[in-house]
Amino acid sequence: MGQITVEKNAGGISGLCVITPTVHGDERGYFVETYNQNDMKEAGLDMTFVQDNQSCSVKGVLRGLHFQKQFPQGKLVRVIKGSVFDVAVDLRPGSQTYGKWFGIELTEGNKKQFYIPKGFAHGFLVLSDIAEFCYKCTDFYHPGDEGGLAWNDPSIGIAWPQVQGTYDGTASAKGYTLTDGTPLILSEKDQLWPGLTSLQV
């Protein structure tokens, strides 16, 4: 027990949690518990995970902002290689922080985890040459149930680090780069999501 510390309501948004594990290291390397149900319950996080996912992305890839409409997922995310800037946007009807965002850099070095409950859109930007990203979900992936939100919607105003470019009124990546010249890379689908005012959750 006691292998994690939890920052609750990260960024002043109820439900978002930044979780820092205890790292046991010596000259051989390190050991860390990446998930312990008892520790999570002790911290007031009583959820059940049903699916684990892992992705690998190159520098400049931006995935998101995604959510499921009828089968919303809570996600516990972490990075096992490289660095990403991870973002959650509150889409919960009636929430006092509806439309607000919070972002955190997750790296293989800091080993922090970010818990995003149901009712949020989620996305991340890869800042390192390669990033391997892992996440646990509280519901299964349901094809056809995915919704999305424009990553660059000015009404939300996410401050994506290192990103430069001019907003053209759409979620297109055209003309956007990182500060070192790396092109911003989004899927075709992620360049078509609407802004917050047009969103139908």
> Which conformational region is residue 38 in: left (phi greater than 0), alpha (psi within -120 to 50 degrees), or beta?
alpha
How many of the other CB atoms lie within 10 Å of CB of 84?
A: 26
One-letter-per-residue 3-state SS of the chain: CCCEEEEECHHHCCCCEEEEECEEEECCEEEECCCCHHHHHHCCCCCCCCEEEEEEEECCEEEEEEEECCCCCCEEEEEEECEEEEEEEECCCCCCCCCCEEEEEEECCCCCEEEECCCEEEEEEECCCEEEEEEEECCCCCCCCEEECCCCCCCCCCCCCCEECCCCCCCCCCCCEECCCCECECCCHHHCCCCHHHCCC
135 is catalytic: yes
Catalytic residue among 30, 98, 122, 135: 135
Catalytic residue from among 35, 66, 115, 122: 66
Q: Would you call 98 a catalytic residue per the annotation?
A: no
Which residues are the active-site residues?
Answer: 66, 135
